[in-house]
Structure 1
Amino acid sequence: MMVVVLVVVVVAVVVVVVVDVEVVIVVVVVVVVVVVVVVVVVVVVVVVEFHFYYIWTAVNHYTSGAIDEFWRLQRSHQD
């Protein structure tokens, strides 16, 4: 991670020296926005998957129990 930061800083310094400052600001803002969006998407996907697993497990558990109970009651009425 520190290596990435160091590379970004070195590239930014070189670009500032070579290119106009306004262009650098725009590029930095775009890169920051892209990184933030990617991080948010990854976090949301991980959280949704995590919750989906537990929600699905709970629904599956309760549904299975309800279905088993339903069939047990049906059999008891038939007897």
Structure 2
Amino acid sequence: MIPLKDENPTKNFPHITIFLIISNTLIFLYQTSQPITSIAIFESYGLIPAHLTKSPISAYPTIYSSMFIHSGLGHLSGNMLYLWI
């Protein structure tokens, strides 16, 4: 069963959540429009633990960039649904 709403209403509009959903969607559209393979994207922007131990300073940005990479439309949709809920 996939939840579509929760029973905990909020008083404020979720500005940050909307921003994250739009950002993730735009990054996914950019990622899929590139001629390079997904493996190259994951190697460039994904978090690879071995790189953190080898040269941690240069690998720090991938801690954040890896949060915006999705492997497919289903992965993106599921994550954004649960982010919204």
TM-score, normalisation: structure 2: 0.33
**Higher CA-based Rg:** 1
Q: Which has the higher contact order (CA 8 A, sep 6+)?
A: 2
More helix by share: 1
